[in-house]
Amino acid sequence: MEQLTPHQLKALDIEHSISLSANAGSGKTFVLAKRYLEIAVKANVPLSRIAAITFTDKAAGELYARIARAIDEQINTTEDDKLRAKYEKLRRQLVSANISTIHSFCLNILRKFPVEADLDANFTPIDATMSQELLDLAVEELIKQKLEFEDDDDLKFLIRLFSSKSGLVRELQNLISHRKIVMKLSEELYHKNVDEIAEYFHSTFNEYLNLIINPVRDNLVNNLKAINDAVLDYKPDNEIALSVSPLLKDLVNADDAIEFIKLLGKVREEMFTKSNVVRKQGYLSAKERDGLEESIGIVERIIKELSEVQFDEEHQATERALAEIGKALIKLFDGAIELYDRRKKELGYLDYEDILIKTKQILELESVQKSLSEEFEYLMVDEYQDTNELQYQIFMPILDYLKKGNLFIVGDEKQSIYRFRDAELEVFSKTSRDIENKSGNDYLLTLPDSFRMYPGICLFTNVLFKRLFASPSELYNEVAHSDLICARQEKENGCVSIILAEKVGEFTEAELTAKQILKLITDKGAKLEWKDVAILVRRRIAFKELEKEFIKLNIPYNIIGGKGFYQRQSIYDIYNYFSFLLDAENDSALVGLLRSPFYSFSDLQLFEISLQKGFTFWDKLKTATGNDDKLKPVVKQLQENLSLAGEVDITLMLRKILSETDFISVLASRADGEQELANIEKMFSLTMNFTNQGFRTLYDYVNYLKDAINSQEDETQ
């Protein structure tokens, strides 16, 4: 049985709400599972009154499995018959436990309150692909309507502004995909007149400029003065130093940030080169810099940062123009949202954003809030650094803003990487303050232990990141460093090696990495297997060279993430097959299909077929069967599938074309065969999900694959 560390033990206090900051590898899922069982067993709380919410389906599955294993362990080890019976009952009930993603949790709430949410009781949640299709239709319909029937001046202005209708469409789609932020801006700002909005822009710019400048202002001015005074000490008649002196006095007395930036610009022109380095020629020569190195380093760093701040002298006209553009866009946005929502309502659809927005809206109703507050006594939220304000406004009302029930949040601010999905790191801090106000500072806990790293690696990480995370700024959502504590029990110390080539260009990074892996595996003392080695890269492009070296040196590998799933050749081959089934005259699809592992035609064979009579390549292939009997089974198979394509379920068709060809066996025989088979399995799952989204045709499926190949590079293998 796993033992709890003192830090983990504190997190099992189920009498109070707790905010837990957990370092990577600190056993937070283990703690979540233990806390869940503490609540269910020791506090005797029914599972229906506990909700454990995670960020992804995978994480929810892992938490469920961890809780199930913990229960099984108790069933197998406890000697108390009554307690064992209790655990056995708990294990049976676990199948209906509230362990899910935030979207699944909210879906269950909406299914309980469809009337309050103004929803069809049989509503269907839709994925991003279906949502995008409806969005595209809504935007196109709105623009067509306004151009043909309303002669809308605002629309014409926006089309000119974004250079084309397609440019405006892209902008609208982007706004709608982040609509909760746009709707909030619309409510709080864009209902005002143009002058009020323009003034808001200016005052906000000023506010943030002050927040940027104030922390560095005194340090910058003092060091500028120290440098300039040193120049005057060497050369009292130095023209640059004499002209800078009054500017520095004005800089000290500058009333606001904008005036400060203007004056700093004049100082910069005098004292610094265009690359933001303190002038040597005519000002401070190299031999006169002794003792000033620190001041020079400080001012050059700050000046370089502040040089990014641009201030328009004609800001009033710019701010007013931005306000006018914003109001015109919001008006069009509102029209597109209205059409999009109407289409969804007609079809009984809800997209991911709707699920959260609708849940938040019904929680504003006292009856719903009261009902859910009585239903849920314990809320546990994992990966809380990836939540946002909207999710906060769902969790808190359920617990009546911590007046009832118990909240447990766990996450790591350093691991917040989903700002592009609207994650708001400040929500973690905000909720922690709420818990502190309710329960006290003793319930803001940390898990500094690391069960993943050996002592040597922990030490290296702490030394490096203590410097990288020094002086964090809340303005930029920076977080403070927290030391990792090695919690591994093995005697192995671990080490960090830096691989260097003796000569520049002698080896590529991929070659050095592959050679190092071989060295590790062949080292008799190391006793490592291939599965013990992992490689992390910053960008996918690095995988291409690594794969090449691994294949050359017979190093087996699996890629997790890496090259986008839809951009794999095997997925493109499937796309070609279905493109041909959709349109037999699509020559490029047919040639790609014949050349692929489905049929493995050589380039010579394809060239010989191209010489046959026929208008399309399909015609030429059928003609070629008269001279080559080996082609007849291929043509027969393709003809059969063409006749079935519009009638058979897409998933069944995919299964058929894979089972009747050598496609799978060819992929399996490759060096990365295991990876390829996993990708095909995933393709089945995605295809099944696609066909389950209402009525979908072969045309829809081919377009779905085409769009995914062209744009969804983030889909992992």
The whole-number mean pLDDT for each consecutive block of 10 residues of the chain, a chain of 717 residues, reads 79 92 86 92 91 86 89 89 90 91 93 91 82 82 81 84 86 82 88 94 90 90 94 92 94 87 91 92 88 92 87 86 93 90 87 90 94 93 87 92 92 71 78 91 90 90 89 79 84 86 82 91 80 84 84 83 70 88 89 88 88 88 83 89 84 88 85 80 83 76 81 58
Tokens of 170: 């892209």
C-alpha–C-alpha distance, residues 435 and 426, integer Å? 14
Cβ–Cβ under 8 Å, residues 261 and 306: yes
| Residue 422 confidence (pLDDT) | 66
Locus of tokens 């087996």? 556
Cβ–Cβ under 8 Å, residues 571 and 565: yes
Cβ–Cβ under 8 Å, residues 180 and 361: no
Cα dihedral 70, 75, 81, 85, rounded to 10, equals 80
- Please report the sign of the dihedral spanned by the C-alpha atoms of residue 620, residue 621, residue 626, residue 627: positive
- 393 secondary structure, DSSP code: H
Cβ–Cβ under 8 Å, residues 116 and 368: yes
| Residue 712 confidence (pLDDT) | 61
- Pairs from 411-414 (Cβ < 8 Å, separation ≥ 24): 411/20, 411/21, 411/22, 411/382, 411/383, 411/384, 411/385, 411/386, 412/21, 412/22, 412/23, 412/24, 412/385, 413/21, 413/385, 413/479, 414/23, 414/24, 414/469, 414/479, 414/482
Q: pTM for the whole thing?
A: 0.69
| Residue 1 confidence (pLDDT) | 45
C-alpha–C-alpha distance, residues 298 and 304, integer Å? 10
